Chains A and B, each alone.
Chain A
Amino acid sequence: MNAPGITEPTEVITRARAGDAEAWGQLYHDYAPAIFRFCRRALPTREDAEDATMEIFMKLKSKLVQYDATRSFSAWLYKVAANHCWDMLRRRKIRQDKETDDLENVPLEHPDPSQLEQLIEQRTSEEVRKALDKMGGRARMALVMRYYSDMSYDEIADALGVRRAFVGVVLLRARHELRQALEGNAALAAGGVS
């Protein structure tokens, strides 16, 4: 789960932890673009993403001592970023306030496989990104954590504050929301496969 093109910078991290400004700058140089893209996908506006990126790296400076060097730095960094973005959304009341108990009981409508396949075939990456902008905070956050930073279900559960068993539900609901945003209506969600 490294940032694209980046190998684990063990030595740089060690130096940054010791207060080496150059090493710190190197870390920022290597990881800021990836973290900015993460924030850009997860947060509503570009300005939010810029602010969040800076804040994450500020936070990182004091949190770096907590990093366990035996684990993946990128994974840890994405976790910090996810926590920060989710906290930011939560503070701004953008977060969907649906309780996990509700999630358990909400029936998920079954899509028409061929219609879904057709929809996926026709959509471009750019359209998906635009559709993400129309989605709710939790759904969007879940998709970004899973498909951008490749976080595990456990990590997503941690970040979103839900039980691990509901991560699949959150992701599936997010996909439905994305499809609706891509379609502009809920037509695809109607109907079954029988």
Chain B
Amino acid sequence: MSELPEDKMKHLDEMTLLLYVERQMDRARGLEVSAHTQECDACRTLLRALERESRLLTRAMLEEDEPLPSRLAQFQERARRSMQWIWGLVFGLAATGAYALYEGYIQPWQQQLEQAGFGGSNLLGLLIFQGAMWKGWQSVVTLLEVVAMVTLAGLGAMFFRRRIRRGSALALVFAGLCTMLALPTGASATEFRKGDIVTVGPEETIKGDMYVTGARRVRIEGTVDGDLIVFCESLDVSGHVAGDVINFSQSARISGRVDGNVRGANNNLTITGTVSKNVLTFEETLTIDPAGKVGGSLTNVSANLGMEGSVGRDALLFAAHANLDGKIGGGVRVKGDSLSIGSAAVIDGPVHFEGRNRPEVSSSAKLASPVDFKQMEKKASYRESSYYVWQVIWAAAFILFGLVLFSLMPKFAQDTVVAAEQIGVTSGLGVLVLFGVPIAACIACITVVGLFIGLSTLFVWYASLYFAQIIVGAVVGQWLMGRTSELWPLIGRMAVGLAIVRLCTTIPHVGGWVKFAAILWGIGAISLSIYRRFQPVMAPSGPAAPYTPPMPPNTTLGGAQPA
């Protein structure tokens, strides 16, 4: 050090002085520096300058030159209310639980009472269909539309979270739904019928909606001046329904007139009468007789479809076997095994068919253009060796898909992988989303306003089934090769993990369950990540920055520097 006679002309280097200023020296070294600076003007000046520099830095740092931005101030409000969404969820789940309780215990008990002679109508039906809210909208919406609207409102509340307090909105939606259902019965024109055979006679007119449940046979020969909602074994509408017909039955026949839409799910549906608006149904067999007429569009999922009547607009058909021998005012899109177009067919728009067999088109059929046919490829059998070749190809495709997704959405992908580490939460959420979303989407599809959103949701849901496996692959890869927060190493881990996951899914008997578990887990992680993205207060705990173990304390640095 500089105190030695031969070092008189040497000065302390800046690092030594800085460490002295910063009190990072051991006591002995500090005393040496102190002694030197008392004798050396240059070093004392530099020491003073460094001290002033420290003060200037501290002052510059600590000065409150900017107020807290309003965005952050608002975030504080949101943070205060962050737990409210949980109450909304709890409320909704409680309502679901109450319904399950009703279905499981109260209703059977009620039925026993009825059998014992204490008659009464369906309690839930009363709650739903005689609520004040319901009656206010009875000419516009159906029950399913109400549910779909509530679903959409919930989604809207979540996605437009920046403008509204999401937690409150969600709680409000659930509360609104339950309140709507639970409102006391007002003056109501809704007709409730129960019984083995329910008949509306030719001279009879039901003023308002008609709701039938638990019946074996329902015959509408008169007039329903509103919607007809039916849950039964057999439905026959030979009269007039001024509103929509929503039916879930084994067989249904519409030989009368329906001024609204026909929607539902049946084993067999036959239309020999007139439906003024659209038909959207799911069944084993749909038949539209030559006299049958649909004023709007026809959307149908069925095993067998026979259409000899007329459809005013487009037809979208997912039918294993479709036979078109009537008039269609718009285009036709069919997907299935076979398509037959008969001699009486008149189709004003283009016809697209994707199927296993070539379409049979009568030369007498009047088509706007030739049928656009696309051959559907046959899938490999599980028992064939080519199945495993396909598995390899699929694994490669998955990796490619994952590569694209991780590259396009690196932050989201990383967040999702982090979220997936919470296995319990994500698996639970996965169950909810895997089953809940398609149900909600299908409900939304039944309504006209929700069709687009419902189909979009189904599409996203379907894509997420694949993405889920990629996420699980990334997590497995991280287990094997260690954690990383870098994108490309993560992609590498995803590829390795995905190959393993896909390999596990090919194991006979077990593979299906592995795949199912992976989808549950992954889709839960995706949902959690999406939720966190739209829910600032519940963000994931990101991976910590890589640390280097610190040196032992009191380690010092620097020394004398020759002048």
Residues of A whose CB lies within 8 Å of any CB of B are 4, 19, 21-22, 24-25, 28-29, 32-33, 36-37, 40-41, 46, 50, 53-55, 57-59, 61-63, 83-84, 86-87, 90-91, 108, 110-111, 113-114, 116-117, 120-121, 123, 125-126, 128-129, 132, 143-144, 146-148, 153-154, 157-159, 161-166, 168-169, 171-172, 175, 178, 192-194
Q: Is the CB of A154 within 8 A of B550?
A: yes
CB < 8 Å neighbour of B548 from A25, A114, A125, A157: A157
Knowing A59-B541, A117-B52, A123-B56 are in contact, say whether A24-B548 is a contact too (CB < 8 A).
no
Question: Do the beta carbons of A120 and B61 come within 8 Å of each other?
Answer: no
Q: Which residue of the partner chain, among A114, A116, A193, contacts B53 with CB atoms under 8 Å?
A: A116
Residue of B nearest to A164 (CB): B551
Question: How many angstroms from the CA of A53 to the CA of B536 in the assembled complex?
Answer: 11
Chain A residues, CB < 8 A from B72? 32, 36, 50, 53-54
Contact B56 A128 (CB under 8 A): yes
Q: Does B63 contact A (CB under 8 A)?
A: yes
B374 to A: closest C-beta gap in Å: 45
Question: By the criterion of a CB under 8 Å from any partner CB, how many residues of chain B are at the interface?
Answer: 66
**Is A165 within 8 A of B557, CB to CB?**
yes
User: Once the chains bind, are B69 and A50 in contact (CB under 8 Å)?
Assistant: yes
> How many contacts between A and B, using CB within 8 angstroms?
189
User: What are 13 A-B contacts defined by CB distance under 8 Å?
Assistant: A28-B75, A37-B62, A50-B72, A61-B539, A62-B540, A87-B485, A87-B542, A108-B14, A116-B46, A117-B48, A148-B62, A164-B552, A193-B46
A129 contacts B65, C-beta separation under 8 Å: yes
Whether the pair A128, B545 counts as a contact (CB closer than 8 A) is no
For B82-106 the 0/1 string (1 means CB < 8 A from A) is: 1110000000000000000000000
Would you call B536 and A54 a contact (CB within 8 A)?
Answer: yes
Are A21 and B539 CB-contacts (below 8 A) given A41-B61, A157-B551?
Answer: no
Q: Give every chain B residue within 8 A of A123 (Cβ-Cβ).
A: 56
Q: Within 8 Å of chain A (Cβ to Cβ): is B43?
A: yes
* Distance in Å: Cβ of B562 to nearest Cβ of chain A: 8
Cβ B15 vs Cβ A147 within 8 A: no
Nearest CB of A to B207, in Å:
50
Contact in complex: A157, B550 (CB < 8 Å): yes
- Say yes or no: A161 contacts B546, CB within 8 Å: yes
Q: List residues of chain A with CB within 8 A of the CB of B19.
A: 168
Give the docked Cα–Cα distance between A29 and B77 (Å).
Answer: 9
How far, in whole Å, are A50 and B53 apart by their CA atoms in the complex?
A: 28
Taking a contact as CB atoms under 8 Å apart, the answer to whether A120 and B53 are in contact is yes
A110 adjacent to B24 (CB under 8 Å): no
Chain A nearest CB from B426 CB (Å) reads: 14
Tell me if A83 and B539 are in contact (CB < 8 A).
no
Contacts of A33 in B (CB 8 A): 64, 68
Known: A32-B76, A50-B69. A164 touches B57 (CB 8 A): no
Partner of A55, one of B59, B69, B539, B548: B539
Give Cα distance in the complex from A129 to B64, angstroms: 12
Q: Is the CB of B538 within 8 A of A58?
A: yes
Q: Which interface residue of B54, B545, B552 has the most chain A CB atoms within 10 A?
A: B545
* Contact digits for B1-31, partner A, Cβ 8 Å, 1 yes 0 no: 0000000010101110011001010000000
Q: Which residue of the partner chain, among A24, A37, A84, A171, contacts B79 with CB atoms under 8 Å?
A: A24
In whole angstroms, what is the CA distance A36 to B485 when docked? 24
Is B544 located at the chain interface by the 8 A CB criterion? yes
B545–A159 CB distance below 8 A: yes
- B81 nearest in chain A by CB position: A21
Q: Shortest Cβ distance from B216 into chain A, in angstroms?
A: 53
Across-interface contacts of B537 in A (CB, < 8 A)? 24, 58, 61
Is B379 interfacial (CB-CB < 8 Å)?
no
Q: Which residues of B contact A21 (CB under 8 A)?
A: 79-84
List, in ascending order, chain A residues with CB within 8 A of B11's CB.
Answer: 193-194
In the complex, residue of chain A having the shortest beta-carbon distance to the beta carbon of B12: A193
Report A-chain residues with C-beta under 8 Å of the C-beta of B69.
36, 46, 50
> Are A62 and B541 in contact (CB-based, < 8 A)?
yes
Contact with A along B484-521 (1 / 0, CB 8 A): 01000000000000000000000000000000000000
Across the two chains, which residue of chain A brings its CB closest to B82? A21
What are the residues of chain A within 8 A of B83 when measuring CB–CB? 19, 21
Which of A123, A165, A166, A172 counts the most chain B CB atoms within 10 A?
Answer: A172
- Tell me, yes or no, whether B369 is within 8 Å of chain A by CB: no
B58, CB-defined interface residue at 8 Å: yes
Q: Which residue of A lies closest to B80 (CB)?
A: A25
Q: Are B80 and A24 in contact (CB under 8 A)?
A: yes
Which 4 A-B residue pairs are closest in the complex by CB-CB distance?
A58-B539, A194-B563, A25-B80, A164-B551
Question: Is B49 touching A161 in the complex (CB atoms < 8 A)?
Answer: no
Contacts of A40 on B, CB cut-off 8 Å?
Answer: 66
Q: How far is the CB of A113 from chain B (nearest CB, A)?
A: 4
In the complex, are the beta carbons of A147 and B57 less than 8 A apart?
yes
**Taking the complex as formed, is B386 at the interface, i.e. its CB lies under 8 A from any CB of chain A?**
no
Knowing that A116-B46, A158-B547 touch, tell me 8 more A-B residue pairs with CB under 8 angstroms: A21-B84, A41-B61, A83-B544, A83-B545, A84-B545, A108-B13, A157-B550, A168-B558
B76's partner among A25, A84, A146 (CB-CB below 8 A) is A25
CB-defined contacts of B46 to chain A, threshold 8 Å: 111, 113, 116, 193
Min distance, Cβ B508 to any Cβ of chain A, angstroms: 40
Which residues of A have CB within 8 Å of B558?
Answer: 168
Q: Give, as a whole number of angstroms, the nearest-CB distance from B470 to chain A.
A: 21
B545 A163 Cβ-Cβ under 8 A = no
Q: Are A87 and B545 in contact (CB under 8 A)?
A: yes
